[in-house]
Structure formats: C-alpha cells, structure tokens
Amino acid sequence: MTVAPDAPLLFFDSGVGGLSILGPTRAALPNAHVVYAADSAGFPYGTKSEAEIAARVPALLGRLVERYRPRLAVIACNTASTIALSAVRAALDVPVVGTVPAIKPAALVSRSRVFGVLGTDATVRQPYVDRLAAEFGADCIVLRHGSAALVQLAEAKLRGEVLDPAIARDALAGLFDQPGGDRMDTVVLACTHFPLVEAELAAASPRPLHFVHGGEGIARRIAYLTQGQRWPAERRAGTAVFTRLDESVGLLAGALASYGLERVEVL
C-alpha cells in the first residue's frame, strides 16, 4: 500500500505522558508529520476501571483515525495498552504500536535481581504485567507500586507549576518499603508520564537507581514499521488534539511547542 508523505504518525495518551514516546520518535524520524491526541476529558486513566478503558479507548482511536488518516497509531500509554491494545488492533485498519512496561530491559540490567515496577494503579495490577515478570524476571523479586499523584506531577511540570518533592519521594517509598525493597537497584517507569519526571525521582531517591522505560525502543519499532515509506521534505508543525479544551491546555502550550506541536484542536 502506498502511503502519502504527509500521512501522520498518531500518538494517543490520556494526557501529556505520551510526549516521552514522541520525543525519541521525533529524533529518529525528524520530518514525520505528527498528530498527538490527549484524552483530557477522560484523564486520568490509571484510576479508572478496566471496563471503562476497554470501552473508551477503541472508540476514541476510531474517531481519530477516521479524522486524521494516520499511517500508524501509537498507544503511548501503558494503562491503555495493557487493557485495550488487542481490541484497538482488531478495530483499526492501520498498524498499532502499544506501550508495555519495560520489564525485560530491567531484568537484563538489574544486578541485585530486585527491581520495581512503578506505574498507575490500573497498570500494575494487570495480568499482562504478571506474564512479563514471569517470562523475563523469573529469577527476580519484582516489586510493584501504583502512583496517581506522580501522573499529576508530570502534568504539573509541563504546565510550569512549582512541584512538591514529596510526591516523587512517596512514590519511591511505595517500592522501597516493601520486603526486598532495600536491595532494589532498578525501577521500570511503567507509565509514559513518569520519564517526564525522572529527574525528580532521581533527586528523591535515597540512593542511586537505574530507571528504564520504553521510549527509545518504541521509536525504533515505529521506524522499522515505516521503513521505505516517504516523509515530507521538511519538518512541519504538528497538531495536538484534546477531547476537552480548558485552561490547563493553554498552560501546556510551551511544552507542546517544544515537541513540535504548534497547533491545537479539539476532537
């Protein structure tokens, strides 16, 4: 199938977390036309039920694909991917890349064989995480903790707000305070929001930790799936799409522009 050069890459998240996937993808494919969609009306996903997410995400992505006709869609959200990825793939007629916790890389780098999975409440309880831990970390102690506050911290950071360091400290304590936590040397950032506050997490940790996430790996996957396709001759302004426009979206304008998203629309 021939793909038009201006056919965009579509990134989808509940909020701004997917920018941690968009960033490395922009570096790998600098001239790619990008549409970034944030479900601001449904944010946050991590505190919602599986049934709510399973119903909402395929329907929204269907509308986005119909409007923007992307060459490929990226669910740049661990919660949505672990719950709804297969349903989205069945519903759409374009390739779909999901985002899943980077448990395999964590198991490869952990020397103590104890690592943490820091995500949303919805992600860390998923059977998908159980399967990844059993397959790649069978010889490891895998600690898990969900933090809704850390998602809000990332959103606040991109709005330029003053950040409370206790939020990152408490999120890490949820892992350190578990049995075996004193030996933890690696943390999987299993929510796309969390790489955006990796510096805050590192500063809050009582000792050095190795943080891993999937951004670069997903960018490589997108490049592989689109190899041989044509791209625009030069970089063009990207579009940020929100399911609800409010004053918080206006406060994100600077952060969005830094990722090449200069136009804002509502779905």
Residues known to be catalytic? 77, 191
Distance CA 12, CA 126 (A): 20
Helix axes 50-68, 78-91, angle to 10 degrees: 60
Contact 74, 222 (CB under 8 A): yes
Neighbours of 66 (CB within 10 A): 9
Distance CA 212, CA 110 (A): 10
CB neighbour list of residue 190: distance below 8 Å, 6 or more residues apart: 78, 101, 102, 117, 118, 119, 123, 124, 129, 213
Tell me the residue type at 229: Q
The alpha carbon of residue 164 and the mean position of all alpha carbons in its chain are separated, in whole angstroms, by 22
Dihedral pair phi/psi, residue 99, rounded to 5°? -125, 115
- Among candidate residues 254, 238, 193, the one with its CA nearest the CA of residue 15: 193
> Would you state the torsion angle of the CA atoms of residues 152, 157, 158, 159, taken in this order, to the nearest 10 degrees?
90
CB neighbour list of residue 30: distance below 8 Å, 6 or more residues apart: 235
Dihedral pair phi/psi, residue 177, rounded to 5°? -80, -5
